[in-house]
Structures are given as C-alpha cells and as structure tokens.
Amino acid sequence: MIVRVSQIGPVDAAFEAPPSKSYTHRALIAGALAAGRSRIAGPLRAADTELTARGLESLGVPIEWLPGEIVVAGCNGAFPAPGEVTIDCGNSGTTLRLLTSAALLARHPVVLTGSRRMLERPVGPLAGALHALGGDVAFTGRPGFPPIRVSGRLRGGKAAIDGSVSSQFVSSVLMAAPYADDDVELTLPATVASRSYLDVTADVMLRFGARLERRGYDWFRVKSGVPYRGITYWIEGDYSSASYLFAVAAVCGGRVTVTGLNPASVQGDRRFLDALEAMGCRVTAGTGAVTVERPGDLRGIDIDMSSSPDTVQTLAAVAAVAASPTTITGTAHLQYKESDRVGVTADTLRRMGAGVLVTGDSLTITPAPLHGVAVDPHDDHRTAMAFAVLGLAVGGMAIRDPGCVEKSFPGFWEALYGQGLL
C-alpha cells in the first residue's frame, strides 16, 4: 500500500494529541509491578504499547483493555509465570529494554527477542549493569545484542551504566529497582542519550509511590522495599506525535492547534516548539492546547536535539523548506533506532534535491528547490510521518508501508484526512 501526498496551501487545522507512548509503556510496567489494581486512563493503544502489555501478560499479569482505559492487576513485584517465558518484542525497543530488568522479578528465566532490526540494537551496557546487581543476561546469538535470556535475582547494590546509546538502559533498571533486595544506586559516567526520558521514568515511578533520589542525570538511588501501589493514572498527550501536526503549519504556512497537551510536561520533545519559534513560527500555549502559526519565511538555526531525539526527523523536514541552512547536533545515537534515522533522512532529502551534510553527531540541511519522491520508511514510523508532512509542502510524495505508523500514532493518516490535508 502507498499513501500519496499532494501539495496544499496554508492550513487552518485543529487536532487532538494522541496519548504519550512513553508514559503508557511505563505506567503499564509500574501498574503490573504494583500492589493492587491500577487504572491507566487515556492510554495509547498502539503496536508498541500492545507489545509491552502482551509481554507483561505472558509473565502472569492480568491486563484488560477497556474503552479509554487499561486495568492492570499488579503482582506486587513477583511475576507469577509458572515456567520459562519467551517474549517477542517485535520492533519495540522500549518493550525489550524496559522488560529486561523487570524479568529478574520472575521466578524462572525469561527470553526476550524481536524483529530482525531488534536483533541489531545493542543491550550490552544494560546487561553489564544487571550483572553487577545480581542478574545474569545471556546472549543466545551475537554478544551484546538480543535475543537474551535473563535469569538470577535483582539483589541491588551499586552499578555504573553507560546510557550514551540509550537512556532506556537506565530507565529499565530504575523501574525494577523498588523490588531489589537492597537499595539500587546507579552512576552514569557518560552523557546520557535522550536524557529527558529519565524525567518521564522518574515522574511515573514517583506517582506510583516509589522512593527515588537523583543528582541530575549522573546519579540515581532507588529505595528497596517501597513498592509501587495501585492507582488511577492519567496519560498525558504526546509531544513527539504532536510534532508532526505542528510541523504542518511550519512547512505549509497557516495555523495548527493541538489540544490534550500538558503545558508543564517533562517530555523533552516539547523543545521542538522552541525550535519552530527560533525558525520564525509563532507559538502560543494555553491550558491544554498549543497553537503554531507561520507568519513569514522560516530561517535556519543551529540546535542541539540530543534530549529531543524523536523530533529530529520532523525538524529536518521543516529545515528543508527554510530560507537558510540548519544544523542539528546530538544525532549520533539515532543510528540505533528502528532504522538508521540520520542515514535514511539524509538519503531521502538528497533525492528530493536538498543539500545534506552528515558528520558523526550532526546533520546539516541546506535548502534547495525540492520535488516529491517515493519514500521507503524502512519500517520506521517516524520516517513515514516526517516525510508525509514535508510532502504537504512539496507535493508528489509517495509513502510506502504507511501502516508502520501503527507503532506510535495509529490515527495519523486519519487525522490528516479529517482536516482535509490528504
């Protein structure tokens, strides 16, 4: 299947932000480990979050999807699966990484595997930290990569963990840590990739009742014996998904309003709005709603997006229609995502006519007259959505495998169609 995107003029559109994928993953895990039942209200039901829910169900946790909510019957830190379990995490790196530490709370070994691309995504630093804390992570194929077999016990203690490839290594240990035999103390010696996601993790943990101390992004300690408790937890709107909607106004001109967003959110992808403002857009934030308008031409900027990784491709799409070059830094770890996002983005923009320079940790886009092309997103939801948005400004764009957006934004195409943009 192919979605064809035509050029449109200035827009005047309003959207509801989909629920946060990151918060839904973490709330599912905290609820599954909690004492008592949890109600997760307004969750994201997408391919990735369903994989996490199925993984928890295979570990023995009852999960019920109801209209507008998920009910989770917590296991109080002891997964009741009666034997060894294999969890297929598909293409969800969040599912595999976050469940790896939690697997130490099962009575029997747990094998975690996934898609072909998943088997190319590293987990070595996470395995090393878990070994220091009492666990055993055996690589059944290529050393340092899934599939992995997790066994042993989360005893606690001190560990250093390298989060320069993914902050999810750190989040994984933190989320399981309340159920370690002793306190867990993590030291992070390297600069953490996507570090704002550690704020999301800490936010969920504290809301579910864990006791966590931290010193910025360098040191964390979680108190043992202070479990999660079953609560009603509301999922806020997703700034990552909303970035595509805001970008429509930036590339096409006009105005887009997105409702359902928390103006005080710790989500790092809120910074995408700062980038649009720096490029010449007008951003107005109200109670639960944000409006982006483009009153004139866009100008290029230099910006570090290391804490807002999921909006790098969206920003690259906007940069391609600006009046001057844009340099985005903090991009090195994007090669470990669902695809090599920098490589795919650079190749596609070059085929469209833009100038692109890639270095080890940066991406520079020099605008030029553009034309539409066929886009193979390489099963990466964010590639498909970013270039669909750019197609609204350029026209003649054909997005292959449009169903890959089910991973994080199942209603993406319908949202554009509903506003007359497709």
Residues with catalytic roles: 310
Type of residue found at 309: P
Looking up tokens 């985005």 gives 328
* CB neighbour burial string for 13-26, b if at least 16 within 10 angstroms, e if fewer: bebbbbbbbbbbbb
CA distance 315 to 164: 22
Residue 101, classified by CB atoms within 10 Å of its CB into exposed (0-12), middle (13-18) or buried (19+), is buried
Using alpha carbons, list the distances in angstroms from residue 205 to 26, 166, 293. Answer: 8, 19, 36
158: β partners: 185
| Number of Cβ atoms within 10 Å of the Cβ of 129 | 24
Residues 354/303/405/63 CA torsion (nearest 10 deg): 170
Do the strands 289-294 and 282-285 form a parallel or antiparallel pair, or are they unpaired?
antiparallel
